[in-house]
Amino acid sequence: MEAVCRKATENDIETLADLIAGYAEKGIMLPRSREALRRQIDSFVVAEVENAVVGCGSLTRLGTDLVEIRSLGISDGYKGLGIGSKLVDQLIVEAKEQHIPKVMALTYEVQFFEKNGFTVVNKEIFPEKVWTDCVNCPKQHACDEIAVLKTLN
């Protein structure tokens, strides 16, 4: 079962919406409307197995030298197969192509990110994130996500 990563297209919006909604319902990912996905489709990559989208992730620019990995998720039945790592690798390639040296994420899956070369950091070092997204988050005053950072060479 080989997963292939590619840039997302308009044809992926329904699948992305369903995948992200499944995580959002569990409170572990921010929801994304179909309209937002349409506007941000260029920032998404998807993983396919046998022509079916089974995972996604996106990059959001937070500053001149910082991007965030967002909406990283894998369909049930495909977790633990290395697909998430492939998506992260693809997103890091995209960050390098944009000449952005730092990639961060807020996550509950610290071990996964550490395995992919990230280090746990204090989330307060990312004022760009705090002021763009956290101000609108229901968990703003009780955030339990862990910040991770990878500096690219």
Domains, the chain, in order of start with CATH, read 3-151 (3.40.630.30)
Q: Which of 40, 35, 28, 52 is nearest to 112 (CA)?
A: 28
Q: pLDDT per residue over 37-74, tens digit each?
A: 999 999 999 999 999 999 999 999 988 899 999 999 99
Residue 113, classified by CB atoms within 10 Å of its CB into exposed (0-12), middle (13-18) or buried (19+), is buried
pLDDT at 120: 95
Q: Is 1 a residue whose pLDDT tops 80?
A: no
pLDDT at 29: 87
- Please state the pTM of the whole predicted model: 0.89
